[in-house]
Chain A
Amino acid sequence: MPDKKHVVIDPITRIEGHLRIEVDVKNGKVEDAWSTGTLWRGIEPILQGRDIRDAGLLVQRICGVCTWSHYEANTMSAEVALGIKPPTNARLVRNLINASEFMHDHTVHFYALASLDWADVGGALKADPQKASDLAHQFSKQPYNASADHYREIIEKLKKFVASGQLGPFAGAYIGNKLYKLPPEGDLILISHYLDALYTQVILAQMMAIYGAKNPHPQSLVVGGITSVMDMLDARRIGQYASKLEDVGNFIQHAYLPDIDLVTYFYKDEFKENIGCGAENFLSYGGFPETNDWEAEFRYLPQGVIYNRDLSKVEKVNKQFITESIAHSWYKGPNEGIYPGKEDTVPEYTGLNKDGTVKRNGKYSWVKAPRYKGKMMEVGPLARLMVGYASNHNNMRDMLDNFLEKHSANINQMFSTVGRTAARALETAYIWHGAHRWINDLITNLKQGDERTWTRFEYPEQETNTAVALYEAPRGSLAHFVRIKGKDVTHYQVVIPSTWNASPRDEKGQRGAYEESLINIPVPDTDEPLAILRTVHSFDPCMACAVHLVDVDNDKIKKFKVEV
């Protein structure tokens, strides 16, 4: 008899929001998988009829992690709808704020949310501090906080923590699990940087607050420009931002990147065997505008679509090919995929099976299933890097080739959990370089006497056409669609990165990116689904974002109100 077992993992921790993963495990490997978003907040109808100038702050509350992304994407979509081009200063300041968010998000993700999938706390306790220091020096000439004394202190701290019996976040850790591959000293290096990253992320949040007023939920962005003109004109603020950028750069160069090399080195088998990537197609809308035209294709992060992992061709993005299916999502409506905004968002919760598992052939998630040309796509750092590589965008190809060469790896290995994790780290460094340039551009522009931060606009008497902002959030491709009449939002939709990745099956039965990536993942012990978590975490799930397609239309809302 085959050894087959169904496993429910709910809650998935160390993510944003509420996610359940169910898998069938057969002969120690995942045979099939289901991804379920378990929270619906119903932000859809709330935007209806609101002042367009309030919409950005409202959609920002979709997510407190990518706390800038929805705010900026919304504002850009409004600006496209109103036909205005904000001044250069506004673009550069926005890019600087966005850069702090990307670096923040990626750093927090790897250390606070993902590092414990790679490093065993139990191993760290057994590590030899001197050997750990030596190991750190193998991966970096100047490793971050890597003296034997420092490591000794960390071990002491951990030991005391364990002895106290109050384990806090480490309670239930998968200590000694065989899927951990780092030597004890490697475990210690990562856990010591886990603590250092808690400090680094505070600095990154301060960087956002310099021009963004605060973090989370910055508040200096308005339709037409930015409000933080005083901060922008204050030379000390530029100095502050630049010096914090150096602090952070120190961490990225001497902790984050070497740690990724460490992980890649010790998990080389997983890297080689392409474990943890199921998607064949990759999508990136492009991010960080380099001109004041929000519809321009060329941006600091690349735009394009790759099919069948074929890096010889990159197709242009056309928003008309985006559809969404609710065949397996808890909403009413037709099963086939529809262009976003043509569907109604009417909840229809059909519950779980009696044994608490999801109805695998029916509806099983609050997340919808977006598709591009009917195909399942992966979005996020890996997609961006591969699109950038394939289109030879800026220096992305060199950046990745260097990494691959260091690990004697070939490009196809990138389609893996290790590859996705590395892509995020490489991107962090890439964005860090971008931030340097935007500071210089800002200084140059200010020196020319340009102090403009805002563009005046008129409210349209007639309803505008649907305007779209194609945008990249840290987790991937984000699109905001808007129509405006007078001051009011008459139509609004968002298609979100984690919706692409966490999507359930569509009407054709195609799995979403999490689901597909879990197939064949080893699960030697179903009580400790470490490899599953490692892969799901590597996408950096953000469920508050994923579950709430904003979809607002006058008549539809009325209908919605009747329904509920």
Chain B
Amino acid sequence: MNSKQMNEYYLSMLDDVDERLDSVCDKESEEEFQRKLEEKGFARRDFLKWTSFMTAALMLPPVFESRIARAAAIKQRTPIIWLHMAECTGCTESFLRTREPDIAQLIFDKISLAYHDTLMMASGERAEKSLEDAIKRYKGKYICVIEGGIPTKDGGIYLTIGSKGETGLSKAKRITKDARLTLAFGTCAAFGGVQAAYPNPTGAKGVRDALGIEIVNVSGCPPSSINMVGTILHILLFDKIPPLDEIYRPLWAYGSRIHDYCERRAHFDAGEFVEEWGDEGAKKGWCLYKMGCKGPLTYNNCPRYRFNQGTNWPIGGGHGCIGCSEPNFWDTMTPFEEPNEKAGIRIPGGNGVEATSDKIGSFLAGATAAGIGVHAIGSIIRAKAEKKTGKIDDKESK
């Protein structure tokens, strides 16, 4: 889907969205939301700023600004069951950095973290019970978020959770079964991540590969809070998953290449490169391509929204992109401090212009397939085949 098609797609859903918002919001809840904003000391214009920010971030047509505002006032809180597999909790940490809206508001107002073991009060039996209760109570209604890759080797024994010593694999299978939809937050849940890097000793896989279920991948190591919260907001608003790319990532977040929106792009085009850390070019903010930046190979919205409320981002901090939202980046994007010769990127001053993003896409799939036989390839190739048959659009029209 290009941006024009996306625009058309969303505009065609406008009536559905209004109908849905009518059913889940009423005048009372909207007024109450307004009152709450005032109490919290937000001016109306702060709120409007937020709605236009989120509308732009989700790449929605401007007409959706008023709908985003209404979605913020939805009565029912959406239950979320958040499972931890083989992970480092970086994704939870990133989620906790959310200010748009801030996490306290998220917890209390928009979503119900029915189960999240980093945050929840109860431990042991009581925690297990609240998980089982939540699954029963919200059967078919909850969103299951998975953080971390799933160890699958030797029956998945490398991760066990709970008093019965249930494997992560079995638990993920059981709990995603009754979810309305499953979100894979972070590159580990999406594609296996660091533990799946060669030689992948525990047979760690992404959720889709481990369980064979439909999911939305919100990749990144960790993903920015905007991409996680935006995906949830999209679901609150449309009650369906956003249009996805060929590896199941929301197009609004992963539809464009870092390189194409990079603040240092002009230096690339002008042939001005950092040649050594801390050199004059580094002090002037020149292009990091020669220092190994993988921005030309990576799809994400980091240049636009940065991290930590726009404070900074890796290229801003003078380090190249390491491609952390791409499958298997520990094996395909390394060494991080050297350009990937095989990618066929021509730098200015060489022969002609830089390779198109299409070519890079096919390089990535190729490189991974030729790589060291980690499962992620499977998903790319499969995804590519499905993309051709229009499966993603089917999913949307369901």
Contact = CB atoms under 8 A, between A and B. Distances in A.
B164 interface: yes
Interface in A182-202: 195, 198-199, 201-202
Contacts of B316: 213, 230-231
B165 A352 contact: yes
A99 interface: no
A18 interface: yes
Interface stretch (B57-65, B195-203, B387-395): B195-203
Contact of A51 (B128, B306, B334): B334
Interface in B194-218: 194-195, 197-202, 204
B135 to A, nearest CB: 13
A551 B91 CA distance: 26
Contact of A231 (B88, B113, B318): B318
B14 interface: no
Interface in B292-311: 306-309, 311
B336 A213 contact: no
Given A213-B312, A214-B307, A224-B277, A13 B89 contact: no
Interface in A152-181: 153, 157, 161, 164, 166, 168-174
Nearest to A39: B159
A222 B312 CA distance: 17
A349 B198 contact: no
A9 B112 CA distance: 24
Interface stretch (A63-71, A279-287, A385-393, A428-436): A63-71
A9 B90 CA distance: 24
A279 B278 CA distance: 46
Contacts of A409: none
Interface string B168-188: 100000000000000000000
Nearest to A542: B89
A16 B334 CA distance: 28
A171 B120 contact: yes
A8 interface: yes
Contacts, number: 310
Interface stretch (A41-49, A124-132, A495-503): A41-49
Nearest to A353: B165
Contacts of B124: 7-12, 529
Contacts of A527: 125-126
Nearest to B121: A173
Nearest to A166: B112
Contacts of A12: 123-124
Contacts of A121: 121
Contacts of A168: 107-108, 112-114, 120
A451 B277 CA distance: 12
A160 to B, nearest CB: 8
A40 B312 CA distance: 33
B97 A215 contact: yes
Given A42-B201, A166-B79, A202 B99 contact: yes
B336 A53 contact: yes
B103, B126, B130, B277 pick with most chain A CB within 10 angstroms: B277
Contact of B123 (A13, A212, A454): A13
B158 A40 contact: yes
B337 A11 contact: no
A195 B204 CA distance: 36
Interface in A209-231: 209-220, 222, 224-231
A311 interface: no
Interface in B315-343: 316-319, 322, 324, 330, 334-337
Given A18-B161, A42-B201, A57-B336, A230 B282 contact: yes
Contacts of B28: none
A55 B271 CA distance: 30
Contacts of A352: 160, 165
Q: Which of A153, A172, A199, A233 has the most CB of B within 10 A?
A: A172
B385 interface: no
Given A214-B308, A222-B319, A564-B153, A15 B199 contact: no
A50 interface: yes
B277 A227 contact: yes
B121 A347 contact: no
B316 to A, nearest CB: 6
A61 interface: yes
Contacts of B162: 10-11
A219 B87 contact: no
Residue from B104, B193, B200 with most neighbouring chain A CB atoms (10 Å): B104
Contacts of B334: 50-51, 54
A561 interface: yes
A560 B127 CA distance: 36
Which of B194, B311, B322 neighbours the largest number of chain A CB atoms within 10 Å of its CB? B311
A228 B121 contact: no
A208 B308 CA distance: 9
A456 B276 CA distance: 9
A147 interface: no
B206 to A, nearest CB: 15
B317 to A, nearest CB: 3
B90 A217 contact: yes
A522 B378 CA distance: 53
Nearest to A56: B336
Interface string B117-148: 11111111111111001100000000000000
A299 interface: no
A443 interface: no
A206 B311 contact: yes
B260 interface: no
Interface of B: 39, 77, 79, 84, 86-94, 96-97, 99, 102-104, 107-108, 112-114, 116-130, 133-134, 151, 153-154, 157-165, 168, 193-195, 197-202, 204, 221-222, 276-278, 282-285, 306-309, 311-314, 316-319, 322, 324, 330, 334-337
24 contacts: A9-B123, A9-B125, A13-B121, A14-B120, A17-B89, A18-B84, A39-B160, A41-B194, A45-B201, A58-B197, A62-B88, A63-B90, A65-B89, A166-B79, A171-B114, A171-B133, A202-B99, A206-B308, A216-B93, A216-B94, A216-B222, A225-B278, A228-B317, A564-B201
Shortest beta-carbon contacts, A-B, top 7: A64-B90, A213-B317, A42-B201, A172-B122, A9-B124, A227-B318, A214-B307
